[in-house]
């Protein structure tokens, strides 16, 4: 999930959130074995916070009974072929002065035009520019020629090209910029607080280009994430400057030691995030060859180690259900943020979850950690349009929580009551972030009823077909940006029963 900070008229209902599913049959043994950058002009969309059960009454929150509509099996449809996508390479040389809250960056993007069309401009997302006086660009050049006529408006940077870039043509885009980091409050990860410095969605990146739509950079919204990412390759060096400090860095990839700094390399991902602190304590384990590291503060040492073990269990569960973990390392980072927030290979968890942890496995610390772990598949490996089709990652991540508890702690009724029933979920699953009205309504529809849809689907088609579909979908769409058409097309290849009534019950616009 992501969050953007446009105004802090985010209601207290933000603290009254979270999501999930209903449980029925248990996972067959054959299926599993022993488991954002905020915007000063917008609000946030992390995993729902698990609050008291009292929730507001929502107008028309339960979708009215809808006449069953004809459901056209998408297996008969053909998707428009697109040219083979070539990931861009992001090379970042970063100098960070922790005390001065200043970051200086040389960024080079090697971009190949995989759109199949000539391009007269590039469009980049620059999320730090949503904070006043944060982003200061010093230099922009294309193939070593200074670019004029650029336009930076909000989080959108338009870079005109002197000559159109032909299909399959390659260019090198260079930017030198500074980040004068803002103080992060409880609603925002990006920036600094008294114990850490966090860089998330912190560098300009080229947004996806889709035939028929052009460059895709959706506007921020009051709820939900709005960014779309292409798959990219990263090579970053980090040096700490200023007064000599001994700091620990949590990042989306393993670190390689270099002179007075670290190097990070990661391929086929959507984003690169990191957190730096002089106060971190760490604990690590291995899960099927993947290093999992928990970064926590000394006063939450026991909780930091406890969540590490549960995330390792979740990874084993999801490895078997969805395919191998897509990253060489997973970083779990405690933060005075109000909820959970995922990035490739790294996620943040609220310090409130650590301090309120109750010694059981049915609490926000463990449950939201499992949710964010699932996002490494649903968001990380399989991407989607987070603004217009958020259910594709949020519903699946929420339902994955159920699968974790069902396998590892089989009292799924308690989980169901804790995560779903307490909030009386209602609303259309295919709600986009611009019609979410408020965070509670958005969460109830996309997260909670989304998970209920997946449970209803599972009960209709049976466990064998359901789990075969989930793995097939995860494997076929790995490294791609999925659409509802992809979801239902692959689903139809695994079922022989009619599901049109279920789709009509949960979706305002059945696919």
Tally of CB atoms within 10 A around 33: 12
- The residue among 346, 343, 465, 445 whose CA lies nearest residue 390 is 445
Pairing of strands 214-215, 44-45: unpaired
**Per-residue pLDDT at 69 exceeds 60:** no
444: left (phi over 0), alpha (psi -120 to 50) or beta: alpha
CATH fold of the domain at 15-35+47-81+384-506:
Neutral Protease; domain 2 (1.10.390)
Pairing of strands 290-296, 329-335: parallel
**Per-residue pLDDT at 301 exceeds 80:** yes
Give the burial class of 148: count Cβ atoms within 10 A of its Cβ; 0-12 exposed, 13-18 middle, 19 or more buried.
exposed
pLDDT tier, 6 (very low <50, low <70, confident <90, very high otherwise): very low
- The residue among 74, 28, 32, 27 whose CA lies nearest residue 495 is 74
Which pLDDT score is estimated for 439?
Answer: 87
- 253: Cα separation from own chain's centroid: 16
pTM of the shown model: 0.85
Residue 361 dihedral angles phi and psi, to the nearest 5°: -100, -5
Residue 464 dihedral angles phi and psi, to the nearest 5°: -60, -50
pLDDT tier, 83 (very low <50, low <70, confident <90, very high otherwise): low
* pLDDT tens, position by position, 401-429: 999 999 999 889 999 999 999 999 999 99
Indicate the SS3 state at residue 96.
Answer: strand
Least confident of 17-31, 107-121, 337-351: 17-31
Residue 25 dihedral angles phi and psi, to the nearest 5°: -75, 155
Tell me the C-alpha distance between 431 and 508, whole Å: 8
**Signed CA dihedral, 503, 483, 156, 180: sign only:** positive
Least confident of 31-45, 77-91, 154-168: 31-45
Q: Which residues contact 26 (CB under 8 A, 6 or more apart)?
A: 406, 407, 410, 412
88-300 belongs to which homologous superfamily?
tricorn interacting facor f3 domain (2.60.40.1730)
Tell me the C-alpha distance between 400 and 14, whole Å: 22
- The residue among 128, 168, 155, 132 whose CA lies nearest residue 228 is 155
For the packed helices 364-374 and 412-419, what is the interaxial angle rounded to 10 degrees?
90
* pLDDT tens, position by position, 149-187: 999 999 999 999 999 999 999 999 999 999 999 999 888
For the packed helices 364-374 and 391-408, what is the interaxial angle rounded to 10 degrees?
120
Indicate the SS3 state at residue 9.
Answer: coil
* pLDDT tens, position by position, 249-291: 999 999 999 988 999 999 999 999 999 999 999 999 999 899 9
For 366, the enclosing helix (H) or strand (E) is: helix 364-374
**Per-residue pLDDT at 37 exceeds 80:** no
pLDDT tier, 219 (very low <50, low <70, confident <90, very high otherwise): very high
**Per-residue pLDDT at 226 exceeds 50:** yes
**Per-residue pLDDT at 394 exceeds 60:** yes
Residue ranges of domains in the chain: 15-35+47-81+384-506, 88-300
Tell me the C-alpha distance between 327 and 321, whole Å: 16
Question: What is the average pLDDT across 32-61?
Answer: 35
For 399, the enclosing helix (H) or strand (E) is: helix 391-408
* pLDDT tens, position by position, 424-473: 999 999 999 999 888 889 999 999 999 999 999 999 999 999 999 999 99
- 492: Cα separation from own chain's centroid: 26
Tell me the C-alpha distance between 267 and 90, whole Å: 10
**Per-residue pLDDT at 241 exceeds 60:** yes
**Taking a C-beta distance cutoff of 8 angstroms, is the pair 121, 161 a contact?**
yes
In percent, how much of the chain has pLDDT > 70? 84
Which pLDDT score is estimated for 451?
Answer: 98
Q: CA-CA distances (angstroms) from residue 132 to 36, 40, 102, 104, 413?
A: 16, 8, 14, 17, 47
End-to-end CA distance of the chain: 24
Tell me the C-alpha distance between 385 and 229, whole Å: 9
**Per-residue pLDDT at 476 exceeds 80:** yes
pLDDT tier, 242 (very low <50, low <70, confident <90, very high otherwise): confident
pLDDT tier, 308 (very low <50, low <70, confident <90, very high otherwise): very high
**Per-residue pLDDT at 82 exceeds 80:** no
- The residue among 114, 113, 108, 118 whose CA lies nearest residue 141 is 108
């Amino acid at each position: 999930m992501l969050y953007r900070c446009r105004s802090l008229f985010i209601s207290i209902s933000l603290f009254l959130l979270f999501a999930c599913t209903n449980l029925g049959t248990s996972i067959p043994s054959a299926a599993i074995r022993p488991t954002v950058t905020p915007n000063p002009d917008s609000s946030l969309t992390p995993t729902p916070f698990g609050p008291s059960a009292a929730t507001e009454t929502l107008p028309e929150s339960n979708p009215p009974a809808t006449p069953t509509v004809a459901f056209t099996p998408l297996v008969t449809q053909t998707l428009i072929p697109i040219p083979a996508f070539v990931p861009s390479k992001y090379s970042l040389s970063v100098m960070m002065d922790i005390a001065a809250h200043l970051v200086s960056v040389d960024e080079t993007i090697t971009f190949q035009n995989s759109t199949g069309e000539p391009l007269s401009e590039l469009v980049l997302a620059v999320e730090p520019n949503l904070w006043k006086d944060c982003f200061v660009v010093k230099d922009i050049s294309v193939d070593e020629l200074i670019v004029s006529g650029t336009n930076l408006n909000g989080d959108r940077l338009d870079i005109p090209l002197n000559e159109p870039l032909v299909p399959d043509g390659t260019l090198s885009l260079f930017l030198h910029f500074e980040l004068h980091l803002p103080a992060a409050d409880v609603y925002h990860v990006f920036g600094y607080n008294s114990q850490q410095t966090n860089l998330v969605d912190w560098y300009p990146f080229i947004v996806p280009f889709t035939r028929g739509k052009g460059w895709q950079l959706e506007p921020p919204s009051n709820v939900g994430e709005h960014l779309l990412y292409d798959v990219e390759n990263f090579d970053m060096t980090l040096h700490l400057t200023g007064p000599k400090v001994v700091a620990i860095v949590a990042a989306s990839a393993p670190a390689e030691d270099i002179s007075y700094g670290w190097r990070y390399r990661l391929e086929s991902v959507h984003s690169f995030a990191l957190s730096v602190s002089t106060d971190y304590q760490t604990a690590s384990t291995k899960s099927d060859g993947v290093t999992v590291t928990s970064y926590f503060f000394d006063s939450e040492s026991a909780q930091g180690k406890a969540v590490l073990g549960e995330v390792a269990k979740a990874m084993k569960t999801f490895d078997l259900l969805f395919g191998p973990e897509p990253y060489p390392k997973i970083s779990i980072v405690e933060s005075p943020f109000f909820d959970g927030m995922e990035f490739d290979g790294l996620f943040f968890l609220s310090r409130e979850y650590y301090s309120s942890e109750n010694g059981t496995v049915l609490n926000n610390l463990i449950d939201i950690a499992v949710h964010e772990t699932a996002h490494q598949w649903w968001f990380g490996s399989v991407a989607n349009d987070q603004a217009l089709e958020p259910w594709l990652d949020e519903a699946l991540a929420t339902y994955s929580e159920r699968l974790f508890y069902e396998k590892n702690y089989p009292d799924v009724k308690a989980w169901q009551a804790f995560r779903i029933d307490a909030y009386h979920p209602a609303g259309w699953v295919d709600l986009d972030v611009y019609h979410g009205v408020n965070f509670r309504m958005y969460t109830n529809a996309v997260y909670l009823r989304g998970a209920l849809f997946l449970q209803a689907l599972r009960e209709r088609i049976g466990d064998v077909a359901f789990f075969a579909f989930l793995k097939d979908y995860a494997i076929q769409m790995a490294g791609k940006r999925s659409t509802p058409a992809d979801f239902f097309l692959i689903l139809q290849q695994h079922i022989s029963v009619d599901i049109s009534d279920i789709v009509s019950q949960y979706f305002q616009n059945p696919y």
